[in-house]
Amino acid sequence: MNKGSMDKETEAAYTALAENMGRITAQCQKLVNEFSQQSVELQKPAESDPFNLGNTFAALGKAMLADPERLIQAQMSLMNQYADLWQKMLNKWGTPEKAGAQSSPDKKGDRRFKDAAWEENPLFDHLKQAYLLTAEHLEKTVAETSGLEEKEARKAAFYTKQFVDALSPSNFLLTNPEALNETINSKGENLLRGLRNVLDDLKAGAGQLKIRQTDTKAFTVGVNIATTPGKVVFRNELMELIQYAPLTETVFRRPLLIIPPWINKFYILDLEPKNSFIRWAVSKGYTVFVISWVNPDAGLAEKTFADYMHEGIFAALDAITLATGEREVTTVGYCIGGTLLAATLAYMAARDDHRIKAATMLVAQVDFSEPGELAVFIDEEQINALDAKMSEKGYLESSSMSTTFNLLRANDLIWSFVVNNYLLGKEPYPFNLLYWNQDSTRMPRAMHVFYLREMYLNNQLVKPGGIVFDDVPIDLSTIKVPIYLQSAREDHISPYASVFKGKHHFRGPVRFIIAGSGHIAGVINPPAARKYHYLVNEKQPDNLDEWLAGADEHPGSWWSDWHRWLYRKSGKKVPARQPGSGPLKPLEDAPGSYVKMK
């Protein structure tokens, strides 16, 4: 090939590249315009708006238009950044030594762009950089818009992020280099497999797309997850009570009752032997009882929060006394199970009932003034819409709860699987935690509406008498039992600052700690894994900033710290108790029947 033809080919390549870059930049500008138009369109009345987005984006649009100069400046700044990015990318292609530093927020740790082509191929590099610039612009513009109420601002920011995350170039075949390469190499077989995965997920979701996060055929509850030996020793229509077989010759006198959340199934605490909190507690000499909540149907639609107290905790306490002969117990409440435990302790204090001698609350909120990211889904309009929806069947579909939690981490829990399952045509990797995450449960209408409105929305639990069960005013300040209050540094569902506020409402001694990681991994962190850390301030001041300033960091799991705290409150050692050795005879092997209900 002669020099002349090479020059023509190079010129043609530059021309094509410039045209493609122009199209990309124009598309990004179109994205900005579409988002602005969406804000205007959502101001129009809609027949159905369950998330109450219309009012939020109407307020956002009004607030933006109230300061047009700032909006114009933001647009001009974005266009200048586009021009700068374009020039640098052209330099990188033609004369790399002139390229200079990237002008866009190149997020090196962003797993959406882990494929090498996002950096090595100038076209895909530009596409990524242009998208990141656009995403940053949209999120920053919304965040800096003044004149919105705090709840409106939080919701606008959340759904803006959902919007830009959904339109990432990594989510589409023609703009994902890994998917394109797979399509070429497999001659389109990946797309055929992806189509089959889509059809399977539509079938599994009864017409709605239920994206698989793991290989659901790889796990069976009671076979390779939830396998700690034990027996179901009691059952009512709301729960089964499991007593676990001892692993030690002697046990602490006071049994340990664990109250898991009913928003998911209990076996997050018993995934497999190496990370089972239940098995670990049994190995430390505790006689462990765990409530396994039923997956409610229409027949339980009117079950209330107080019913979960009576038919859950109180029924379990009575059964434990029959099974072991012991009236005094210690307890653990996880997430909403901890919220229920706190309300129950206040109820018991009013009734002069002192059976619970120590309480552990895992990532559990009682003060909902800073409720975390779930707050975007909770306002009066959304609760009313949800109540109307639940009234049709008497419960909230499990898919609705699953979607809500997945939206909180959409890139990890939605879009990564769209790419893997549909664009690449791969099967999701077997992962027991994600199997549990997809094994979601329904919510009874009466209980769920009460919980959302009276606790999340109105924060009534921390107001003495704000909540009343059976004519008993609930007052958290009457709780005098020792409390271990565990939180997690990266928890987006129960932020540690929110959990910390519980300290201000209990009268008894409180040991507050902050574990590493988030709402799940911050709890399920066995000592043998040697992962993360936890923070403790032995002085336990009531001011969070002071607490953090004086906290010591300890490597590894908080479980050992909890055991050192709890065993002193658990009584002397007695011979180990076998499930069924007392008046309560086994009904079936753990993990029971309720946990397997779909």
What tens-digit pLDDT sequence spans the chain (598 residues)? 444 444 665 555 446 545 544 554 554 555 455 445 544 444 444 445 666 677 777 877 777 777 777 777 777 777 777 777 777 767 766 655 544 444 455 565 688 999 999 988 888 988 898 899 989 988 988 888 888 888 888 888 899 999 899 999 999 998 999 999 998 888 888 888 888 888 888 888 777 788 999 998 999 999 999 999 999 999 999 999 999 999 999 999 999 999 999 999 999 999 999 999 999 999 999 999 999 999 999 999 999 999 999 999 999 999 999 999 999 999 999 999 999 999 999 999 999 999 999 999 999 999 999 888 888 888 898 999 999 999 999 999 988 888 888 888 888 889 999 999 999 999 999 999 999 999 989 999 999 999 999 999 999 999 999 999 999 999 999 999 999 999 999 999 999 999 999 999 999 999 999 999 999 999 999 999 888 999 999 999 999 999 999 999 999 999 999 999 999 999 999 999 999 998 999 999 999 999 999 8
Two structure tokens written together for 88: 């640098």
pTM for this prediction: 0.86
Residues 6+ apart with CB under 8 A from 217: none
Which of 290, 285, 279, 288 lies closest to 252 in space, CA to CA?
Answer: 285
pLDDT at 494: 95
Which of 301, 288, 231, 299 lies closest to 260 in space, CA to CA?
Answer: 288
* Four-CA torsion 556, 557, 560, 565, nearest 10 degrees: 120
Q: Where in the chain is the domain with CATH 3.40.50?
A: 230-392+442-474+555-596
CA distance 62 to 592: 55
* Four-CA torsion 203, 209, 210, 216, nearest 10 degrees: 50
pLDDT at 4: 46
For 293-305, the DSSP string reads: E----GGGTT--H
Two structure tokens written together for 317: 């306490």
Residue type for 571, please?
G
Residues 6+ apart with CB under 8 A from 562: 360, 484, 486
Whole-Å CA distances, 266 to 65, 125, 223, 260, 311? 49, 45, 15, 6, 17
Two structure tokens written together for 80: 């200048």
Spot the catalytic one: 291, 335, 423, 476: 335
Two structure tokens written together for 486: 């565990």
For 371-431, the DSSP string reads: --GGGGG-SHHHHHHHHHHHHHHTEE-HHHHHHHHHHHTHIIIIIHHIIIIIIS-PPPPP-
CA distance 506 to 503: 6
Q: Is 218 exposed, middle or buried (0-12, 13-18, 19+ CB in 10 A)?
A: middle
Whole-Å CA distances, 284 to 247, 272, 281, 359, 566? 8, 17, 5, 17, 11
Class of domain 230-392+442-474+555-596: alpha beta
CA distance 570 to 248: 15
pLDDT at 43: 45
DSSP state of 551: P
DSSP state of 309: I
Which of 70, 88, 249, 81 lies closest to 145 in space, CA to CA?
Answer: 70
pLDDT at 19: 55
Residues 6+ apart with CB under 8 A from 392: none
CA distance 281 to 327: 20
DSSP state of 208: S
- Active-site residue flag, 335: yes
pLDDT at 1: 44
In the chain, % helix, strand, coil (3-state, to 5) comes to: 55, 10, 35
* Four-CA torsion 273, 276, 282, 287, nearest 10 degrees: -130
Two structure tokens written together for 128: 């990524």
